[in-house]
Each structure stands twice: as structure tokens, then as C-alpha cells.
């Protein structure tokens, strides 16, 4: 169906975009959203993980997701994605930003240039791209929401590159949240409990994961904050 005044496609299905959807928290959030009847636009670089997600959502009886193997550093790709969503559905109801880059732990004076640049481009730059390119889709009809997953490592030893870039992304989103207090979309931040993710394993390779929260439990907690 098309809105005759805007010539933008409209439908009754809710659409959610999830970054980092091929594994970890992003995978768990995307699967739960599919189970709740959302059409999921799943964004990640790992094609195999995205395909596993699609199989899981369909096995749960959810709508077939749209799989987008894409890096958040790809400006052109992100622009094409936003345009494709606009032309196909006209809006997004929800964005959950879980994707992150884990640069090697290092003393601050020894952070590698390549590692730091990549962390900046994904953790900070990728968040900026999402905010810039998806904001029009989240405000295209009432009720749009943006959730940013945080991980505060500010000041922790050897976490200089990761902590700085995640802190910068959080500062950007917090500013946006303040700017939109009386305006759409609704912008929130979510701080998960420690989970046995691939990202965490890079930081703590020998950790006993038995005491960590499951990704599915944290996905459920995230969605509960949104009223699911």
C-alpha cells in the first residue's frame, strides 16, 4: 500500500534494524524480535551467522528477515541500505545498535595506528552513520525508537582504544537523546551484564563463562525496557 500524499510505501508490519546481528547480543535481540512478529533487517559482516539467524527466525515462525552483510564503515553501503528501506517500507520502527569492534588490549602509548583507526571508524564512526542515515526512517511515522548498547570501559587499564571509542559513541548518543526529549525518535541506552560473547572472549580468553549472563537473557531484558 502507498501513502498517496508522500508516494512512500506504507504497511502494518513493524520493521526493526539490528546491527551485530550475526552473533552474541545482536543475534539474540534479532531472534526475539522476529519471534515477536517484527520484520528484522539484520546487519553484520558475517554471512554465515546471518544465515543461521534467518533459519532460527523462520523456525520460530517469524517473518523472513532481510539479511544485510555490510560493514558500518561502508558509507556508500549504508546510504544504499537507508534508501532501500525507504523505498520498500518507508520507515523503521526500531533500531538496536549492538555492533562493536574489539581492538587488541594495549598500554595507551603502544596502541597501534591501524587498530585505533579501525576502532574509531566502527565504534564511533559507525554509530554516527547510523544516527545520521536512519533518523529520517525512525521519524517517518510515530513511535520510532533507537537503542544503543553501551560498554563503559573508560579509564580501565589496557582498554584505551576500545574504551575511548565506545565512550565517544555513547557521548554522541546521549547528546542525541537530550536533543530529542520532546521530539522523535525515542533514544535510549542499554548497558548489558557481562555475556560470553566473541568480543568479550577477545579481552578475557581464559575466563570461566559459567557466571556470565546469557545473551538471550540480556536480549529479553533489553526488550523489556521497551515494553515487550
Which secondary-structure segment (H or E) carries 80? helix 75-88
Distances from the Cα of 200 to the Cαs of 53, 101, 162, in angstroms?
21, 11, 12
Residue pLDDT, tens place only, 176-197: 999 999 999 999 999 999 999 9
Within 10 angstroms of residue 182's Cβ, the number of other Cβ atoms is 5
Residue pLDDT, tens place only, 48-62: 999 999 999 999 999
State yes or no: cis peptide before 221, omega within 30 of 0: no
Count of all residues that appear for the chain in the document: 228
Residue pLDDT, tens place only, 194-210: 999 999 999 999 999 99
Q: What is the pTM of this model?
A: 0.94
pLDDT above 70 as % of the chain: 95
Query: Can you say whether residue 44 is alpha, beta or left, with left for phi > 0 and alpha for psi between -120 and 50 degrees?
Result: beta
Distances from the Cα of 137 to the Cαs of 4, 97, 107, 117, in angstroms?
18, 15, 41, 29
What is the CB-side half-sphere exposure of residue 208 using CA atoms within 13 A? 2
Amino acid 12: pLDDT: 79
Domains of the chain, earliest start first: 2-225 (3.40.50.720)
At residue 160, does pLDDT exceed 90? yes
Out of 5-14, 18-27, 127-136, 150-159, least confident range: 5-14
At residue 81, does pLDDT exceed 90? yes
**Is 115 in contact with 158 (CB distance < 8 Å)?**
no
Amino acid at each position: 500500500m502507498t501513502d498517496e500524499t508522500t508516494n512512500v510505501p506504507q504497511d502494518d508490519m513493524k520493521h526493526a534494524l539490528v546491527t551485530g546481528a550475526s552473533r552474541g547480543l545482536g543475534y539474540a535481540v534479532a531472534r526475539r524480535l522476529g519471534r515477536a512478529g517484527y520484520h528484522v533487517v539484520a546487519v553484520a559482516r558475517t554471512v554465515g551467522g546471518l544465515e543461521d539467524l534467518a533459519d532460527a527466525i523462520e523456525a520460530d515462525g517469524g517473518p523472513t528477515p532481510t539479511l544485510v552483510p555490510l560493514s558500518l564503515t561502508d558509507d556508500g553501503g549504508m546510504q544504499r541500505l537507508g534508501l532501500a528501506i525507504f523505498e520498500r517500507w518507508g520507515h523503521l520502527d526500531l533500531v538496536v545498535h549492538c555492533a562493536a569492534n574489539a581492538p587488541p588490549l594495549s598500554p595507551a602509548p603502544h596502541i597501534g595506528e591501524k587498530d585505533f583507526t579501525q576502532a574509531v571508524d566502527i565504534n564511533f564512526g559507525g554509530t554516527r552513520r547510523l544516527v545520521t542515515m536512519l533518523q529520517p526512517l525512525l521519524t517517518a511515522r510515530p513511535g520510532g525508537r533507537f537503542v544503543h548498547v553501551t560498554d563503559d570501559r573508560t579509564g580501565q587499564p589496557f582498554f584505551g582504544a576500545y574504551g575511548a571509542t565506545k565512550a565517544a559513541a555513547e557521548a554522541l548518543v546521549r547528546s542525541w537523546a537530550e536533543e530529542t526529549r520532546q521530539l522523535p525518535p525515542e533514544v535510549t541506552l542499554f548497558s548489558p551484564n557481562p555475556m560470553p560473547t566473541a568480543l568479550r572472549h577477545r579481552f578475557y580468553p581464559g575466563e570461566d563463562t559459567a557466571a556470565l549472563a546469557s545473551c538471550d537473557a540480556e536480549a529479553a531484558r533489553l526488550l523489556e525496557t521497551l515494553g515487550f
